[in-house]
Amino acid sequence: MDANTAERVSQLAKNLKDLHLATTAEEAYERAKEIIMGTAAQGTDKSIKELMADAGMTQQDLQKAKELLKEEEKALQELKKELEELKAKQAVETEHHDAHQQQTKELDQDLIDAEHDVGVLEENVDVAEEIQDKETENQ
């Protein structure tokens, strides 16, 4: 059995098990192998109806499979919607984060400027005090 055929058998076995058309994984594998290998040996001459019959799949089983597919599609759509909502929320949060970073940078610069201004004022006060002290001494 080549890798492609083995992959097809494994996938069909999983589907048979998921659809409860086989009670065990081994049974699912054997049935899938019969279907795939029988199809490979006979070519694609069998109709879908014959393949379903070979797999023991009834109309009820097909309906169950369709319902399961609808449920899975609905769940997929819900996941897609949730993902889109999360992406939108993340974009907003990123925008806010960027704005906060910009505000922080501006505040940091304002703080640096204010510290510089305070330093200049301290120097001016010190110089003014020295001048005043000298004037007081000279009087």
| pLDDT tens-digit profile, the chain (139 residues) | 788 888 888 988 888 888 888 888 898 898 888 888 775 555 555 566 666 666 666 677 778 878 888 999 999 999 999 999 999 999 889 888 888 888 899 999 999 999 999 998 998 888 888 888 888 888 7
Altogether, the residues listed in the chain come to a count of: 139
Q: What does the alpha-carbon distance between residue 92 and residue 95 come to, in Å, rounded to a whole number? A: 5
Q: What is the pTM of this model?
A: 0.37
Residue 25 contacts residue 17 (beta carbons within 8 Å) = yes
Long-range contacts formed by 22-25: CB under 8 A, 24+ apart: none
